[in-house]
Chain A
């Protein structure tokens, strides 16, 4: 079920009405669970069973990890089951295509397995829950008074299946989410927060991303071969803005919807395109995934505690696995390696400084150069998302250098990319200059005009509805 569909809007309204009925006050958790199951089952009923099974396994593993003598065994089993689920359903096809015979036996079975929506997100939530339970970083209330397994299971199911974050995050931390589970009051809803999150989220998704996709469509093979260098570059940067608008829009909608039900999901995007280093970029882009990889993978591998060489290897490994998490194709591994190498080179040159090339009185200029440099490299990285076939991505790069004089440099029909990318640029610039007096006085003071314009454009200028890019992950 798409967030930008009428069915979803109907589900949210109906759930909110039932959720806040006074006589169902003690049953709010069940209302959210039913709504979440409906949301998930709408696309594929049979895969709902897998989701519930995954939730129950995580409930058992985390409960055992917290309260049983064999906590290590429970925690290890929980993590292994989650990883096996991910390996089987998400990477089975890739492994089969690479190493097995796809026409018969196990290879054939693996290829026919469906890809459950959101599996990467809900298995990572499960791992986070089990590891936190084992490490004792868990809901304080649950640790002081031992709950029944049933009570713990209900909370775990909600944590795993909560529909606003089920398909594409944000990956909430179990500790924060569990402590947020309580009876909610309608009067406690922070409407300005809900309104802002939903308007900006839907605007980014429906007006920016859904419109940009009709122009970046021409990046597909073989269409790009006929385009000039300027058009190819314009589409690369357009796709970069589309990726941001699509995923940041989704996250904001998820955060806004969750807030209607009294839950605060963590921020997932914090103006990533003003990052002046790759380190900063990953602190601003898909923050909850970065934190997950940092906490459960990078630090577990030894982080930066074992010397420079090991730090570089750990960084590279973390980013490679993070890349592969995005999709079952080797190009995602290449994408992760690319970002890992950028982080390693940056770390080797700049250490832990954010702005690598700050040069005395040229500081401001060098800062903007850094921002542009990071943006350009990140944008070229997205090429592997648009063209997962590595040879096509390489050919695209080749065309950038060879199609200089042979065809029209920039096709005027692609110029609307600039118009649709402008709101994303303005969004970042307003944040960057938020403390300037003129911004405070003339822009932020009249923010309601921006929200009015965004509402107007959502209604009159939305692109054709498309599923969110990150759903496939």
Chain B
């Protein structure tokens, strides 16, 4: 029984391997964490990348197809620091890294980075692509279903529940707190040391801010982050892309709805093309 089971396993694995090799573009995430892992792995195992983008769930909403030359390592539920750690693991570093500033000082998720970079498994995945998250049978199935229904996985919903939106805005206003000076300095130092290491290896950083609901634009925590960034990264040395002043509709005050994602992605694409990215 054991031998027959193992034989079945080998046959299935072989078929899966062949299928993946013949259809490398297939595979869609079924939830946010999986999407993060797929992004991280796609970035780590890609040959050469010119421009990368790091950030949080805010910039993760930029439609990837609209700026194909930029590889996103903005992770939902994670932080700028996680993206930087993923980038620092790469042998061939990108020339430019776009850095989202809104939640710049958020603490990272060690789990995401260590699981993709430490131990022998990431090396095995490099040589056996069928072990990557993107090619999980459920992701392949999801991808095939979307393809057969002619559905773009990046298309989201533009339905915004205004009651929920107002609740969330009030919540943000009520819970608006700045980080203590010690913690902010500690977070900045941790991220800055990562950035400096990458700079010594030839990477250039460009900062950008994602639009949020105009009532939230001047939140204390946002202002604190802006001031810290201005002091730590002088504008004569670093490029800060101009903020988009369009009034966007968001689902919760911070995250763009699908319509907003499309408009902002277009704006962002134009902004980058003027600077030859």
Q: Does the CB pair B31–A464 fall under 8 Å?
A: no
Q: Does the CB pair A448–B119 fall under 8 Å?
A: no
Q: Report chain B residues within 8 Å CB of A459.
A: 9, 13, 131
How distant is A198 from chain B, measured CB to nearest CB, in Å? 11
- Closest partner residue, chain A, to B11 (CB atom): A452
Q: Report chain B residues within 8 Å CB of A45.
A: none
User: Contacts A448-B1, A455-B9, A460-B137 known; A406 to B161 CB distance under 8 Å?
Assistant: yes
- Closest partner residue, chain A, to B121 (CB atom): A6
A211 at the interface (CB under 8 A from B): yes
A43 at the interface (CB under 8 A from B): no
Q: Does the CB pair A453–B138 fall under 8 Å?
A: no
Q: How far is the CA of A211 from the CA of B131 in the complex (A)?
A: 16
Please provide the chain A residues from 419 to 450 with a CB less than 8 Å away from any CB of chain B in the complex.
Answer: 419, 447-449
- Closest partner residue, chain B, to A406 (CB atom): B161
Please provide the chain B residues from 33 to 51 with a CB less than 8 Å away from any CB of chain A in the complex.
Answer: 33-34, 37
How distant is A171 from chain B, measured CB to nearest CB, in Å? 30
Q: Does the CB pair A464–B2 fall under 8 Å?
A: no
Q: Does the CB pair A452–B12 fall under 8 Å?
A: yes
Q: Does the CB pair A6–B16 fall under 8 Å?
A: no
**B interface size (C-beta, 8 A):** 30
B164 at the interface (CB under 8 A from A): yes
Q: How far is the CA of A449 from the CA of B12 in the complex (A)?
A: 10
Binding site of B, secondary structure by majority: helix, strand, loop or mixed?
helix
A457 at the interface (CB under 8 A from B): yes
**A interface size (C-beta, 8 A):** 28
Q: Does the CB pair B161–A452 fall under 8 Å?
A: no
B130 at the interface (CB under 8 A from A): yes
Q: Does the CB pair B34–A451 fall under 8 Å?
A: no
Residue with the greatest number of chain A CB neighbours at <10 A, chosen from B13, B37, B138: B138
Q: Does the CB pair A453–B31 fall under 8 Å?
A: no
Tell which of A226, A447, A453 touches B161, judged by Cβ atoms closer than 8 Å. Answer: A226
- Closest partner residue, chain A, to B17 (CB atom): A460
Tell which of A214, A455, A461 touches B31, judged by Cβ atoms closer than 8 Å. Answer: A214
Residue with the greatest number of chain A CB neighbours at <10 A, chosen from B7, B12, B16, B34: B12
Q: Does the CB pair A452–B5 fall under 8 Å?
A: yes
A192 at the interface (CB under 8 A from B): yes
- Closest partner residue, chain A, to B13 (CB atom): A456
How distant is B27 from chain A, measured CB to nearest CB, in Å? 12
Q: Does the CB pair A448–B161 fall under 8 Å?
A: no
Give A residues with C-beta under 8 Å from B. Answer: 6, 191-192, 195, 199, 211, 214-215, 225-226, 406-407, 413, 416, 419, 447-449, 451-453, 455-457, 459-461, 464
